[in-house]
Amino acid sequence: MTDMKKPEIPKTLSILGERFTVRQQSGLQGNEGDGAVDGYQLGHRIFIDADNSTSRKWRTLLHESMHGALHVTGTQSELGEEMEEIVVQTLETHVVQFMRLHGLAFLDAIKGDS
């Protein structure tokens, strides 16, 4: 059986039209969990713990990109830090479960949509 190589984490992301730089950095788990996002002060950066597995890095990227979307829209200031984290964790769990069950069919169905 061939072992499929997991895709590399991108160095940049476009989140609602805003460019975010993705940086992998060792030792985040003690301070920031698995990752962090800085929506404005450091110029749209997402930090991911470089010591995690590739699958954990991808899940962290999804999680932090959701924080990024809330920053871009200004929604995070309305939610407050604690509620923002609850919303992001809920949506992350849902998106991961949805994509595990329907990912390829969903992507195929929306191909070509803008």
Question: Which pLDDT tens digit goes with each residue over 53-91?
Answer: 999 999 999 999 999 999 999 999 999 999 999 999 999
Please report whether residue 7 resides in a domain. no
Q: What is the distance between the alpha carbons of residues 75 and 66, in angstroms, rounded to a whole number? A: 11
Q: What is the distance between the alpha carbons of residues 96 and 114, in angstroms, rounded to a whole number? A: 22
Please report whether residue 23 resides in a domain. yes
Cβ contact 40:68 at 8 Å: no
Cβ contact 47:35 at 8 Å: yes
pLDDT of residue 96: 95
Please report whether residue 57 resides in a domain. yes
Calculate what percentage of the chain has a pLDDT beyond 70.
Answer: 87
Please report whether residue 18 resides in a domain. yes
pLDDT of residue 112: 80
Residue 80 is which amino acid?
G
Q: How does the average pLDDT of the chain come out, rounded?
A: 86
Q: State the total domains in the chain.
A: 1
97 by DSSP, 3-state: which?
helix
Please give the residue range of the domain that contains residue 41. 12-110
pLDDT of residue 41: 59
Please report whether residue 5 resides in a domain. no
* Tokens 């788990």 sit on residue: 29
* Tokens 């929506």 sit on residue: 39
**Predicted model pTM:** 0.84
Task: Kindly tell me the burial class for residue 45, based on how many C-beta atoms sit within 10 Å of its own C-beta (0-12, 13-18, 19 or more).
Answer: middle
